[in-house]
Structures are given as C-alpha cells and as structure tokens.
Amino acid sequence: MSKNDIEPAGAQPIWPLGPQAGGKLALPDPWAQQSYKAPSATDINLGTLWRILAEWRWLILGAIAVGLAAAVMLTFLTTPMYRAAATLEINPPTVEILDERKTGTRQSNDRDYLTTQYGLLASRNLAQRVAQDLNLASNPQIVPPGLDRTTRIKVATGVLQGHFEVYPVPQSRLVRISYTSPNPGLSAQITNSFADSFINSSLERRYEASSYARQFLERQIAKQKAELEISERKLVAYAQAQGLITTGGSGDKGSSGSDTNSLQGASLVALNQALTDAQSKRISAEQRYRQANSLNASEITQSTSALRASRAALQAEYQEKLASFKPDYPDMVRLRTRIEALGQEIAREGGTVSGGKTSTLLAEYRAAAAEERSLQARVNQLRQSVMTDRGDRVQYNILQREADTNRSLYDALLQRYKEIGVAAGIGTNSVSVVDRAEPPGGPYSPNLLLNLAVGLALGAIAGIGAALALEFLNDTIKTPDDVRDKLRLPSLGVVPKKKGNDPLAEELKDQTSPVAEAYSSLRTSLQFTTDTGAPKTLLITSTRAAEGKSSTTLALAQGFARLGKSVLLIDSDLRKPAFVTGVEPNEGLSKLLTNTDTLNQHVMKTQFEGLTLLPCGPLPPNPAELLSSPRLKAILAEASANYDMVIVDGPPVLGLADAPLLSANCRATLLVIESGKTRTKAAIDAVNRLKASGGNIVGAVLTKFRHQAHGYGYGYGYEPYRYGGVGSREREIKLIPQRAE
C-alpha cells in the first residue's frame, strides 16, 4: 500500500453541490489539522425554533390544554364579584388671599392638586371613615364575627382598601372610583359612601385649615399690636423729652423727615414768606424813589445853572490863587466862603424844585429797607434754631419709622384676617359627584374569555419554555443541519429508523424500502468524495456503540458489491466484533496481524456475490498494540491491491485508540451518528481525535432518523462502551461463508 493511498492528516473533503463541481474532491491544506468546538446554544433562528415547536408539538398542545382547563375550572370555582363605579369632578380652588393693591392670585397647581386628591381618595383614613359610617365592622360579609371592636374596624378598613380602586380619567379633572364585592347592592352603597365621605372630609379639612389660619393670625395680630403700642409710646416720650413739636400728621407717609413739621420750622417758613414780601416792598419803594429823582434832575439843573456858573468861576479863581497863596490867606478864605454860600444856594434851589414828593418816596424806601433788615435777622436766627432741631429729630425719625412699620404690619394682618374669615365662610366645595354608583347588572369577575386567553397564553408559554428547556438539555445531533453546523462535516446521507424487528439483511433485500434507498443514496454520495470515485479503503466508525455502524458497513459493502465491484469487508473491532461466521474464530484479522500469512488465507466468501469477509479472529488481550503495528498498513495495502474496495468496520471512537489508529491507515473515514442519541460534545471529541491522528473524515451519515427529531439542545457526555463476548450482543450479523469448490 503506497503513501498516496492514505490521506494526509486533516484533509477535509468538500462535497460538491451539483454537476458544476465535476464530481471532484477539493482538498485544503493537506497537512493542516483542525478541531471544532460545540456551537453556542444561543445560536437559534426561526428555522430552528420552528423545528423545536414541531418536534414538541404534543407537549406544547398538552400544556395549552392544561392551561385552558385550569382557566375553565378557575372560572366556575371563583365567586362572582360585582363592581360599582361612580364619577367625581375635582376642580382645584383659586382663592385670592393677597392685597388688592398687589397683582396676582395664589392658585393651586392642577397636577399636584389632583394627584393629592387621588391619594386622599385611596387613603386609609377615608376607608376607616366609610367603615364607621356604614357600620361595616358589624357586617358578617365584611368582617368575620368573634373579634373585638377595634380589630373589626381595622379588618373592615383593610377590606375596603383592598377592593377600592381609583381611576383618573386622562386629560380631564374627572376621576372614577369603584368598589368590588360579591354583593352588587353593597358595592354601590360603599362606592357612594366613599364619594360622600370624601366631599365631607374635604370641607372639614378646609374649615380646619381656615380655623388654624385664623388662630395663627390672631396670635400674630396681638403680638404686632403690642409692638405698635410700645413703639408709639417711645416716640411720644422722646418728643416730650426733646421738646419737639410737629405741625403735620405723624402718620402721614413721607412727612416724618421734613423740617416744617416742627414749630421752629413752621415759623421759619412764615418768616421766609414775610421776608420775601418785605424784599419786594423795599425794591418797589427804591425803584419809585429813583424814578422820582431822575424826573426832577433836569428842572434842578435849569434853575441853578447861573449859580453853578458863578460857583465854577469862583472855584477856578480859587485854584489859580492857591498856587500863590496859602489856604488860610484872607482872600483865599473869602473865596471859599463865597463858594460854600453858592453851594448852599444851589442846594436850596434844588430842594425847592424837587418839593415834598421826593421826600415822601425816600421815607417809604427807608422804612421798607428797615423792615427787610429786621426780617432777615429773624430768619437767620430761626434758621440756626432749625439746624439745631434737625440733629435732635434724627432719633425721633427713627422711632417714628419703627412705629409706622409696626402700624403697616398690623393693618396687613388685620386685612388678611378679614379675607380668611370671608373665605372660610364660603360653603361651596371643589369636589362634586357627576355619576353616582348604581348596583351592577352582572358580575365583573370571573371573566371567562379573559381567563381562557390568560390560560392559553400561560399554557403556550409553559409548553414552549418546557420544549426549549428539553431541547437545550438534550444536546444531540438530530438533523443533517446539525452535522454541518455543529460538526463542520458534510452530511452524506440520512438513514431512517427501521420499522419492525426484521433483520437488516431482509430489509436490504427490498430495494424500494426507505432504508435501502437511504443506503443507496449514501453509496452514491461516497462515489463523489474523491477524484477517483469512492475511497479505496474506507473506515466506518461511530462515536459510541449501537449507532448503526455495523449495519451501515454491511449495507455499503452489499451495495458496492451489487455494482459489480469486489468488496472486502474487514471486521476490525478486536474488542467486540459484529460479524460472526458461526465457526471457531481461529482465522481473521487478529491472527493476520501477528504472522506473515497472506490475506487470502484468512478471508471468507459470503452469501452475497462479490462480498468477501475478513473476520475479527480470536479476541486479543492488546488490540491497540496490534493495530499500531506496521503489519496493519501492509494488510490494507494487500487488500487494496486485490479488491476494488475495502470497507473496514471499526470500533467506536469513545476514549480508545483503536479507531484513530485505523483512521490513520485508511484512505477515508465515514462517521456514523445516531439521530437524537449522540451527544454533540461526544461527536465533536470523536471528530477531533480522528483528525488529530491524521484521519481523513469524508463525511457523516445520520442513522435511525425520525422526522420528528429536529432542533438543538444542551447537555454533554455519552454512555460508557463495555465490551464482552460475542454472545453479549443483542443482535449479530451473520455472514454465511461459502467454501470454494
């Protein structure tokens, strides 16, 4: 057997999809080794989900049926409950409580106010009030007898709270309240009592709030009144001590800081006015006097012109002689005397001309000027007194402002007290009943349609959940898609589960049976796995025992023999052989591995034309050592030279070295997987072990396939493979040897 007859390690065939592939085998890197991991259980798609639902449809339908039955039973066993509802309108109040001179009114926020009212409707205090108003503590339908009064009230309150509901109507100020009980009349009565009690409690809370506000304002008014009285007493006492007298109202706004409020200030104002009048009078007299003087000047000048001329001549002569004589010279004295006489004459002449009118105006002018000077002196004196008084009035003004502030606060509190008193007297309420509750005409629950829908949904959820859980807990290879997706191997065929207990040989005789057709399809697929057709030496193995490995070996060997090929079937399971001859196993593979006999000395013809069997032979104590010897390769080379095709029935992979050793010496390996039984992890471990040993896995065949088995699952591990004698197998495949003539 040449090296070319054995595929290199890791060669992974790619199955052609049609005639475009030309029936050739494409091989990747010949010496690359690959290993695969189990795909994630979360890789689920709609197709997978549909297959799971189809497989577990009876479980799902059963869960749905149980859910519907439980819904029907619950409906008929549940006590009918009646719900009575009423509608209320809640309008947030808007009460103006600020001073009219100030802008704006205090309004409650609608959303916050309505939310508060909803909470009050569902409060325990309101439920307790309803229980007391209707005396529900003594109603046996609400409270069981035998309890004390306090306990009965608590129980009745809890029952009311548990069955009372509040439903705000969106985008409105309406709210629906309802109560549910087995008695329709009692439901309506309790609902209406809730509405009435809520209205009454709202009014009471409003009156209580107004009463508290009034009491608070009364205390504040009394306190402010006392402070006002103290501040006014301090103001009066200080004014008396400093001798301060005000002329204006002390309570007038803006008058407390004026200097005219004092007596000196008032006098100063009056004197200022009198001084102004005196100044005006003096100016007028002076003006009249000056006008009179200007009118008489021309007349005086004409009447005294001659005298003025003579005086001027004498003055000129006096000045000339003054240069020669001294002033006391007699002539000089006489000239001065004459000049003075002429001056007096001129004055007498001017007085005569001006007359008594100028004298009268001059007297009036002088009197006005004297009055002005007197008033000015008095004003200056009062101004100094007012400046002194201003320093004394600083503390007075401080005390007066304090008194004014206390008076303003006192007036504001009185006004607020009056407004609250008016608001408290208003008898309207912000809550009104729109629709009162009426006894319902039919039960609110149980609702058969709703219970059926819920039962259907819960049953479906439980069934689907159980199906998914079972699938994921049962992680097995079930479909050809699992072979391709989980093991990354070509799926070469699917063999359905055989019906009945007839031997496989009888099933294969009928070429139209599903099993025979499936194996024919597998045989055809194998013919396209290499470029020369079916592999010359083919090892058939499985992950664990009882997966249909030996049945597949027989079916393929018989199928290739029908095609006219000479086929050698080698039973290489040296621990638990599957093919027996009915004679003592003195000849076979185990003997051939330990000597140098030829192959023809150990093979046997069978009842199938073209099919020859190399049995296992005596069971050796060391199968792995025999299979690891170079003798195995020589035997396979000799068989490949003498037969058209060599099919080796190997042992399962499990944790043993037999199958990997055989796979390394065969041209191709076919992995048999039982649908729905072989664990994914076990199959992946088997594939990795075969590839690690250099085996060429051309694909896998799915046996015992059921159309109901679809989908993925969870869970790993496989059953232990125990070996015993030939007689320990439940069913053996007997090939009747035909002795040559």
Distances (CA, A) of 83 to 177, 183, 445: 10, 9, 9
Cα angle value 23/543/10 (rounded, 5°): 45
Given a cut of 90, is residue 209 above it in pLDDT?
no
Given a cut of 80, is residue 296 above it in pLDDT?
no
Bigger pLDDT: 290 vs 512: 512
Q: Mean pLDDT highest for which of 142-146, 149-153, 223-227?
A: 149-153
Bigger pLDDT: 16 vs 166: 166
* pLDDT value for 728: 43
Bigger pLDDT: 718 vs 338: 338
Q: 672 pLDDT band (50/70/90 cuts)?
A: very high
User: What is the overall mean pLDDT for the chain?
Assistant: 75
Given a cut of 60, is residue 710 above it in pLDDT?
no
3-state secondary structure of 582: coil
How many other CB atoms are there within 10 angstroms of residue 428's CB atom?
8
Give pLDDT tens digits for 534-572.
Answer: 899 999 999 888 888 888 999 999 999 989 999 999 998
Which residues, other chains included, contact 292 with Cβ-Cβ below 8 Å and sequence gap of 6+?
354, 357, 358, 361
pTM exceeding 0.75: no
Residue closest to 302 by CA, chosen among 367, 364, 359, 349: 349
Given a cut of 60, is residue 533 above it in pLDDT?
yes
Residue closest to 616 by CA, chosen among 725, 523, 738, 741: 725
* pLDDT value for 444: 78
* pLDDT value for 541: 93
Given a cut of 90, is residue 402 above it in pLDDT?
no
3-state secondary structure of 672: strand
Q: 114 pLDDT band (50/70/90 cuts)?
A: confident
Q: 10 pLDDT band (50/70/90 cuts)?
A: very low
Distance CA 484, CA 486 (A): 6
Give pLDDT tens digits for 589-634.
Answer: 888 888 888 888 889 888 888 999 999 888 888 888 888 888 999 9
Range with the poorest average pLDDT among 214-218, 416-420, 707-711: 707-711
Element (H, E) at 611: strand 611-614
**Could you tell me how far CA 585 lies from the centroid of its own chain?**
78
Give pLDDT tens digits for 719-739.
Answer: 333 444 444 444 556 665 554
Bigger pLDDT: 718 vs 457: 457
Evaluate the CA torsion angle 70, 72, 77, 83 in order and state its sign.
positive
Which residues, other chains included, contact 254 with Cβ-Cβ below 8 Å and sequence gap of 6+?
none
* pLDDT value for 353: 53
Give pLDDT tens digits for 322-353.
Answer: 777 777 878 788 888 888 887 777 777 666 55
Q: 261 pLDDT band (50/70/90 cuts)?
A: low
> Would you call 144 exposed, middle or buried from its count of C-beta atoms within 10 A (0-12, 13-18, 19+)?
exposed
What the block records as the tokens of 128 is 């307790």
* pLDDT value for 735: 63
Residue closest to 84 by CA, chosen among 170, 194, 10: 194
Q: 707 pLDDT band (50/70/90 cuts)?
A: low
- For residue 168, whether the previous peptide bond is cis, meaning omega lies within 30 degrees of 0, is no
* pLDDT value for 700: 92
* pLDDT value for 456: 92
3-state secondary structure of 662: helix
The CATH class of the 476-710 domain is: alpha beta
Residue closest to 499 by CA, chosen among 480, 478, 522, 515: 515
Residue closest to 251 by CA, chosen among 261, 265, 242, 243: 261
- The residue length of the chain stands at 741
Distance CA 183, CA 359 (A): 126
Q: 585 pLDDT band (50/70/90 cuts)?
A: low
Give pLDDT tens digits for 132-150.
Answer: 888 888 888 888 887 888 8
Q: Give Rg (Cα) of the chain.
A: 67
- Mean pLDDT, rounded, for 260-288: 69
Distance CA 101, CA 267 (A): 39
Q: Mean pLDDT highest for which of 231-240, 314-323, 650-659?
A: 650-659
Given a cut of 80, is residue 454 above it in pLDDT?
yes
Cα angle value 621/625/629 (rounded, 5°): 135
Bigger pLDDT: 55 vs 678: 678
Q: 37 pLDDT band (50/70/90 cuts)?
A: very low
Q: What percent of the chain has pLDDT over 70?
A: 71
Distance CA 43, CA 706 (A): 23
Q: What's 3's DSSP letter? A: G
